[in-house]
């Protein structure tokens, strides 16, 4: 298993007030993303655990692109990866941010 961590500063905080969101399932080609609003407004962090070792550069690129696109300030993302394609990773991360920015019920 490989564990990766990425810290980024962001232009702005992620919208909304939701404290936590969970999306995805740990299965072949899939992943789960747990998002928590626990950081200061201009920082975000991603902790990834994956059985597919040696793809650090790919993760880094996907994460950098995600942070640039969504500016998820204040959010910590914890990921359990089941061997997902980078597109699936991007999708789940985007879904997680969207869930965090949803209005509370």
Partner 1 sequence: MSAAGGQLAEFSAEPARALSWYEASARTRVRLLLDAGSFLEFVGPEMREVSPHLQVFNLPEQFDDGIVVGRGSLDGAPVFVAAQEGRFMGGAFGEVHGAKLTGLLRAARDLKSIPVLILFDTGGVRLQEANAGELAIAEIMRALMEARAAGVKVIGLIGGRSGCYGGGGLIAGCCSGLVVSEQGRIAVSGPEVIETNRGVEEFDSRDHALVWRTMGGKHRRLLGGADAFAEDTVEDFRSATLELSASAADFGIGTLQAEQSRLEDRLQRFGACRDAVEIWEAEGIAGARSVPDLPADQFVALADRVGRTSRDAR
Which of residues 10 and 50 has its CB atom nearest to partner 1 in the complex? 50
Which of residues 11 and 54 has its CB atom nearest to partner 1 in the complex? 54
Place of tokens 């789940």: 92
Q: Which of 54, 68, 58 is nearest to 89 (CA)?
A: 58
To the nearest whole angstrom, how small is the minimum distance from the Cβ of residue 68 to partner 1? 26
To the nearest whole angstrom, how small is the minimum distance from the Cβ of residue 62 to partner 1? 17
Which residues sit at the interface with partner 1, rule CB under 8 A? 1, 20, 22, 25-27, 30, 32, 34, 36, 49-51, 78, 80-82, 105
Name the 3-class secondary structure at 61: helix
Residue 7 β-bridge partners: 45
Which of residues 63 and 84 has its CB atom nearest to partner 1 in the complex? 84
Residue 31 β-bridge partners: 81
Cα–Cα distance between 49 and 59 in angstroms, integer?
11
Residue 67, C-beta contacts closer than 8 angstroms, at least 6 positions apart: 8, 10, 44
To the nearest whole angstrom, how small is the minimum distance from the Cβ of residue 33 to partner 1? 10
To the nearest whole angstrom, how small is the minimum distance from the Cβ of residue 25 to partner 1? 5
Which of residues 27 and 61 has its CB atom nearest to partner 1 in the complex? 27
């Amino acid at each position: 298993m490989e564990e990766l961590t990425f810290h980024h500063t962001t232009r702005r905080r992620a919208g909304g007030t939701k404290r936590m969101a969970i999306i995805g399932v740990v299965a072949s080609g899939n992943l789960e993303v747990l998002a928590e609003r626990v950081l200061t407004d201009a920082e975000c962090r991603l902790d990834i655990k994956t059985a597919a070792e040696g793809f650090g550069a790919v993760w880094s690129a996907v994460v950098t692109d995600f942070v640039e696109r969504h500016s998820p300030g204040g959010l910590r993302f914890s990921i359990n990866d089941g061997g997902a394609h980078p597109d699936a990773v991007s999708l789940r991360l985007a879904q997680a941010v969207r869930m965090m920015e949803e209005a509370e019920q």
